[in-house]
Amino acid sequence: MRVLVLGGDGYLGWPTAMHFSARGDEVAIVDNFAKRQWELEEGIEPLAAIPPLHRRVRRWKEISGNDIALMVGDLCNHRFVYKVIREFKPDAIVHYGEQPSAPYSMQDRTTAVYTQTNNIEGTMNVLFAMRAHCPDAHLVKLGTMGEYGTPNIDIEEGWLELEHNGRKDRVLFPKRPGSFYHLSKVHDSANIEFTCRIWDMRATDLNQGVVYGIETDQTVLHPDLETSFHYDDVFGTVLNRFLVQAAIGCPLTVYGKGGQTRGFLNIKDTIQCVALAVDNPADRGDFRVFNQFTEQFSVLQLAEMVVAAAKRNGQDTQIDHLENPRVELEDHYYNAKHSKLVDLGLRPNLLTEAVLDAMYQTVCRHVDFVDRNVMNPRIQWSSEKADR
C-alpha cells in the first residue's frame, strides 16, 4: 500500500511511519516541524533529545533498507497539500498533523485561535485534495476521546441510536469538549462526516485515549529512531509527569481530587489500531468511528500505581493534591464502549506492573536532563489573560 503519514515527526507519527515501512508499504511523511517550534516558544523539550527528522529517515534506511519519503511543508498551505497528494497518490492517509495540546490551546487568545485555524484548515485542505486527486483513498484521522467530555450516559462509538417523540434516528454522539483543542477535533469530525455523506469519501475517526509508552518494535533498533517523551505541563501527559516526578523524588501532582477518569492505551496499541483501520478500510460514503483505548483509569489510580512502581524500584514518593487548573468534573460517570477495534483483532498491551517498571527505569536513566520548572501547571482554564 501507499501510506501517507501527516505529522510524521511526532510522538505517534514517526513510529507509525516506521511500522508501515517495516512491513513493506510505500511510506511518505509530511511535517513542518511546528511542534518543535512550539516547544521552543514554551521553553520545554522532551526528556531525551530527538534528532532531526532527516537524520531519522536516513538512519531508518540504513537499518531497514527501506526508504521513507520526506515532504516538508504546512497542511494549511493548500497548494502544498494538493501537490503531495497528487504526486504520491496514497491508498491511505494517516492524519496526526495537528496541534495536540489542550493546555496550549487554553493559554490565551492567540494559541486558542491558532489551534482552531491550524487544525481545522489543515484537515479541510486534506479533504479537498483527496476529493480532487485520490477520492477512493481512506482517511484515518486521529481524534480524541476528549471530544465526548464526561456525559452521564454510556459513550457509544461515535454514533447514537436515538428515539424522540416516537421516531428513531442514528445521530453522531453529542460532544462536550473541554478545551479549544478538543473542540477543534469536534469540528474535524463534523467536517469529515459531512464529506463522507456528501462526497462519498471514506474515513475512520479514531477517538483515541491518552497514550503512554516509549518503545515500539522499531524505536528500539537505534537511539536515532526513538520517539519523544514529554512530561511538562503543556505537551506532557499525566502518566509521564508522574513517572518523572517519582524518579526525581518529587511529590506526584494530582489535580484536584484525582477522580477524573479517562481511557488509556500503550503506544504499541496505537500502532496496532491504526494498522487495523488501514488494513480494513471504511466503505465509500462511510464515516466510521472507533473509540481507541484499552483501559480506563482515574488520575488518582494512576498516581497510586506510580507510587507503587517507584517503591518496587527503591524510591519512596508521595501524592500532592493541587488546585485543579482545568474546568472539569472530578467526580463523574464514565463508561465508554470500545469493542470495534477488538473485533478487528486488537490484542491489547495492558498497563501491568512490568510495563510501569520498565517505563520508570527508562525515565531514571535520564533524570539528569529533567527540568523541574516545567511540571507544575502554569495555564489556567478560567483565567482572564489579556488578548495577544
Place of cell 505541563: 233
Can you tell me the distance from the alpha carbon of 162 to that of 177, in angstroms, rounded to the nearest whole number?
21
**Phi, psi dihedrals of residue 382, rounded to the nearest 5°:** -105, 10
Let me know if 96 is a catalytic residue. Answer: no
Let me know if 185 is a catalytic residue. Answer: yes
Can you tell me the distance from the alpha carbon of 239 to that of 305, in angstroms, rounded to the nearest whole number?
10
- C-alpha grid cell for residue 46? 522532551
- C-alpha dist (Å) from residue 284 to 80, 93, 198, 203, 288: 26, 15, 11, 8, 11
Active-site annotation holder among 16, 111, 115, 144: 144
Active-site annotation holder among 35, 141, 185, 340: 185
Neighbours of 153 (CB within 10 A): 10
Active-site annotation holder among 114, 181, 212, 360: 181
Can you tell me the distance from the alpha carbon of 258 to that of 375, in angstroms, rounded to the nearest whole number?
17
Can you tell me the distance from the alpha carbon of 208 to that of 210, in angstroms, rounded to the nearest whole number?
7
Let me know if 216 is a catalytic residue. Answer: no
The H-or-E segment that residue 139 falls in is strand 138-144
Look at residues 50, 48, 19 and name the one whose alpha carbon lies nearest to residue 362: 48
Place of cell 501524592: 319
Active site residues: 144, 181, 185
